[in-house]
Structure 1
Amino acid sequence: MPSGLIALLDDVAGIAKLAAASVDDMGAAAGKASTKAAGVVIDDTAVTPRYVVGLSPARELPIIGKIAVGSIRNKLLVILPVALLLTAFAPWAITPVLMCGGAYLCFEGAEKLMEMFGAGGHDDDGPVTDDPAALEKATVSGAVRTDLILSAEIMTIALSDVSSEPLLTQAGVLIIVGLIMTVVVYGVVGLIVKMDDVGLHLAQRDSKGVRALGRGMVKAMPVVMSALSTIGTFAMLWVGGGILLHGSHTLGLHWPAVPVEHLSHTIASALGPVGGLAGWLTTAVISAVIGVVVGGVIAFVLHQAMRLKPGAKH
Structure 2
Amino acid sequence: MASGLVALLDDVATIAKLAAASLDDVSAAAGKATTKATGVVIDDTAVTPRYVVGLAPERELPIIGKIAWGSLKNKLFLLLPAALLLTAFAPFLITPLLMIGGSYLAFEGTEKIAEKLLHDHEHHDKLLEAVADPQELEKMQVGGAIRTDLILSAEIMAIALAELDHLSLVTTGFALAAVALAITAGVYGAVALIVKLDDIGLHMSRRQNASARSIGETLVRVVPSVLATLATVGTAAMLWVGGGILLHGLEELHIATIIPETVHHLAEMAAHAAGPLAGFVGWFVNALGAAIFGFLIGGIIVLVVRQFVKHPEDLVVD
TM-score grouping bracket, smaller chain normalisation: 0.7 to 0.9
Once the two structures are superposed, the pairs formed by residues 276-295 of structure 1 within 5 Å of their partners are: 276-295=279-298
Once the two structures are superposed, the pairs formed by residues 246-257 of structure 1 within 5 Å of their partners are: 246-253=248-255, 254-257=257-260
Once residues 229 and 23 of structure 1 are traced to their aligned partners in structure 2, the CA distance between those partners, rounded to angstroms, is 33
Do structure 1's residue 70 and structure 2's residue 73 form an aligned pair?
no
Alpha-carbon spacing, 1:276–1:183, altered in 2? closer, same or farther (3 Å) = farther
Give 2:21's aligned residue: 25
> What amino acid maps onto 1:179 in structure 2?
L
| Residues 111-156 of structure 1: CA deviation (Å, up to 9, x unaligned) | 22222112647967x9665324444444434433443343333323
Once the two structures are superposed, the pairs formed by residues 84-95 of structure 1 within 5 Å of their partners are: 84-95=84-95
> What amino acid maps onto 1:49 in structure 2?
A
Alpha-carbon spacing, 1:146–1:234, altered in 2? closer, same or farther (3 Å) = farther
Alpha-carbon spacing, 1:166–1:231, altered in 2? closer, same or farther (3 Å) = closer
Give 1:52's aligned residue: 49
Alpha-carbon spacing, 1:160–1:236, altered in 2? closer, same or farther (3 Å) = closer
Question: Structure 1 residues 164-173 or 59-68, which shifts more?
Answer: 59-68
> What amino acid maps onto 1:297 in structure 2?
I
Q: Does the 8 Å CA contact 1:50/1:225 hold for their aligned counterparts?
A: no
Give how far 1:175 is off.
1.0
Give 1:9's aligned residue: none
Give 2:193's aligned residue: 191
- SS at 2:167 equivalent: coil
Q: Which runs of 5+ in 1 are unaligned?
A: 1-21, 308-314
Q: Does the 8 Å CA contact 2:105/2:239 hold for their aligned counterparts?
A: yes
Question: Structure 1 residues 184-193 or 216-225, which shifts more?
Answer: 184-193
Percent same amino acid among aligned pairs? Answer: 45
Give 2:32's aligned residue: 36
Alpha-carbon spacing, 1:61–1:240, altered in 2? closer, same or farther (3 Å) = farther
Paired positions, count: 285
- SS at 2:258 equivalent: coil
Q: Does the 8 Å CA contact 2:239/2:291 hold for their aligned counterparts?
A: yes
Give 1:214's aligned residue: 216
| Residues 73-128 of structure 1: CA deviation (Å, up to 9, x unaligned) | 2221222112111112211111111211222222233322222112647967x966
Alpha-carbon spacing, 1:93–1:296, altered in 2? closer, same or farther (3 Å) = same
> What amino acid maps onto 2:253 in structure 1?
L
Q: Does the 8 Å CA contact 2:49/2:194 hold for their aligned counterparts?
A: no
Give how far 1:220 is off.
0.7
> What amino acid maps onto 1:44 in structure 2?
V
- SS at 1:25 equivalent: coil
Q: Which runs of 5+ in 2 are unaligned?
A: 1-17, 311-318
Once residues 47 and 154 of structure 1 are traced to their aligned partners in structure 2, the CA distance between those partners, rounded to angstroms, is 10
Question: Structure 1 residues 183-192 or 206-215, which shifts more?
Answer: 206-215
Once the two structures are superposed, the pairs formed by residues 271-310 of structure 1 within 5 Å of their partners are: 271=274, 275-306=278-309
Give 1:310's aligned residue: none
Once residues 61 and 270 of structure 1 are traced to their aligned partners in structure 2, the CA distance between those partners, rounded to angstroms, is 49
Once residues 201 and 288 of structure 1 are traced to their aligned partners in structure 2, the CA distance between those partners, rounded to angstroms, is 41
| Residues 130-187 of structure 1: CA deviation (Å, up to 9, x unaligned) | 3244444444344334433433333234334443333222211111121112112222
Alpha-carbon spacing, 1:152–1:24, altered in 2? closer, same or farther (3 Å) = closer
Alpha-carbon spacing, 1:109–1:42, altered in 2? closer, same or farther (3 Å) = closer
Which protein has the larger Cα radius of gyration, Structure 1 or Structure 2? 1
Once residues 249 and 98 of structure 1 are traced to their aligned partners in structure 2, the CA distance between those partners, rounded to angstroms, is 13
Alpha-carbon spacing, 1:153–1:127, altered in 2? closer, same or farther (3 Å) = closer
Give how far 1:286 is off.
2.9
Alpha-carbon spacing, 1:97–1:190, altered in 2? closer, same or farther (3 Å) = same
Once residues 188 and 222 of structure 1 are traced to their aligned partners in structure 2, the CA distance between those partners, rounded to angstroms, is 16
Once residues 27 and 199 of structure 1 are traced to their aligned partners in structure 2, the CA distance between those partners, rounded to angstroms, is 42
Question: Structure 1 residues 90-99 or 38-47, which shifts more?
Answer: 38-47
> What amino acid maps onto 1:175 in structure 2?
A
Give 2:180's aligned residue: 178
> What amino acid maps onto 2:263 in structure 1?
V
Match of 2:247 among 245, 259, 281: 245
Q: Does the 8 Å CA contact 1:79/1:152 hold for their aligned counterparts?
A: yes
Q: Does the 8 Å CA contact 2:200/2:216 hold for their aligned counterparts?
A: yes
